[in-house]
Copies of this chain bind each other. A is one copy, B any other.
Amino acid sequence: MKQNQCNFTYYKLEYNHKVIIKKQERRTSMKKLDSTKLSKEQQEFFATHLAYLATVSKDGIPQVGPKQSMKVKDETHLEYLEKTQQHAFENIKNGSKVAVVVADKPSHTNVRIIGTPKVGEKDDNGWYPVVISIEEIDE
């Protein structure tokens, strides 16, 4: 998660025969990691930041919303409670994959996963646990 912390690059410009050093914001890019297992650091990051879940409808329309109950189940799974049972739940039942991101604004740090969700049995509150098998991690 270190590569996004140094956020500037420097380049030279010539203007009226003077060399000027200019600071330019660097594009902060994410890359797909080789591992599909969450590191201890990534697990901690998921535990301490609000997760946003994206799904896709049958018609190919994206949906996104915060999921306060999202937590790390183990190093290859996330889990959350489907309480509202609206668009995201409908999309998941129709076979949508999911993307989950946690972001830290001050440090420009993001961790994102892509995975396949599986809906469990309704609990006593009428909520459905959804377990997400992690298939890709980007950081």
A contact set with B: CB distance below 8 Å = 24-25, 27-30, 50, 52-56, 60-66, 68, 83-86, 96-101, 103, 105, 110, 112, 114, 125-126
A80 to chain B, nearest CB (A): 14
12 pairs from A and B in contact (CB 8 Å cutoff) = A25-B83, A28-B84, A50-B105, A52-B52, A55-B62, A56-B56, A60-B96, A60-B97, A61-B97, A62-B96, A63-B99, A65-B101
**Best-buried of A52, A96, A103 by chain B (most CB within 10 Å):** A52
Check A64/B96 contact, CB under 8 A, given A28-B83, A84-B27, A125-B24. no
Check A27/B62 contact, CB under 8 A, given A54-B99, A68-B105, A99-B54. no
A86 with B30: CB separation less than 8 A? yes
